Amino acid sequence: IAFENAGILKTGSIAVTAVPPGEAKEVIERVAQEKSVPLYTVAPEDQHQDPRRLISYQRDASGSLTLRLPSGTLKDVHPSLRGTYQAGNAATAVAAVEILRTMRGVTISDTAIREGLGNAFIPGRFQMVRDGRPTGGATLLLDGAHNVEGAETLGIALRAEFGEDQKYTLITGAKQGHAPGPFLEILAPLINKVIATRPSFRPVDITEVVTAAERLNLPVSIVEPATSAILETWRQAKSGEVVVVTGSLYLVGETPEELRN
């Protein structure tokens, strides 16, 4: 995957990456060297200093970012995108802007950076369409994670957002080519119950989802079609309950419009 993504590197361009040290980063570094592309890195403040590091960042418990750039420090930056992993994504975007400002002569203000990060929106990426916490109601969250890596990232983000003790109602299904078993196994410690359904595009047999949940001793029920599964589960959600729709971006996309607005 890293090699395919590195195909975007072109001779004469400048590159920036937040990929941590390891095999994937080595691939990106090799491709950049082969194409004579200067490569700069982005890393958390507490990571080992890299001589090519362009930006370091720090995220506090509220999600606010401090970004340390060659041109100065940006404090109290509030990205609209939730999830701990979005801190690195935001810093990478700012690094690209910093390159434009310092190496390409493009005028982009700090205010524009703050506004850009504050207005950024990616449907289905840890998207909280209903946040019941201020009123003590239920919460509805959409996330298109569909593989083991996505499940791991989702789990980290959920713990950071809702705490270690929160349990979740999971509405899930999978597209062909994605295995529901390993996906659910990663999230199992966080799950209170599973609602099994099917995305409309090339779904796996719903019994695979049910069998995977039962093997993990997770309470599971089948509700179809997906739109009904989401709407009915949400309408029945109790105070403090967090409902997560995940397993496929196709499934996330079937969230009724009345809930997404």
Residue pLDDT, tens place only, 95-139: 999 999 999 899 999 999 999 999 998 889 999 999 999 999 999
Whether the per-residue pLDDT at 162 is higher than 80: the answer is yes
- % of the chain residues with pLDDT over 90: 85
pLDDT confidence of residue 30? 97
Where helices occur in the chain by DSSP H, the ranges are 2-5, 23-34, 86-103, 110-119, 148-162, 180-187, 206-215, 226-236, 249-252, 257-260
**pTM of this prediction?**
0.80
Per-residue tokens: 15? 């590159």
Strand order of the β-sheet with 39-44 is 15-17, 39-44, 53-59, 65-69, 72-77
CA–CA–CA angle 246, 251, 254 (5° rounding): 125
State the pLDDT confidence band at 204, using cuts at 50, 70 and 90.
very high
pLDDT confidence of residue 183? 97
Q: Give which of 42, 2, 4 is closest to 20, Cα–Cα.
A: 42
Do residues 243 and 168 touch, judged by C-beta distance below 8 A? yes
Q: Is 15 exposed, middle or buried (0-12, 13-18, 19+ CB in 10 A)?
A: buried
Task: Give the residue-averaged pLDDT of 2-16.
Answer: 95
Do residues 56 and 43 touch, judged by C-beta distance below 8 A? yes
Whether the per-residue pLDDT at 237 is higher than 90: the answer is yes
Between CA 65 and CA 44 the distance in angstroms is 11
pLDDT confidence of residue 71? 84
Instruction: Name the average pLDDT for the chain.
Output: 94
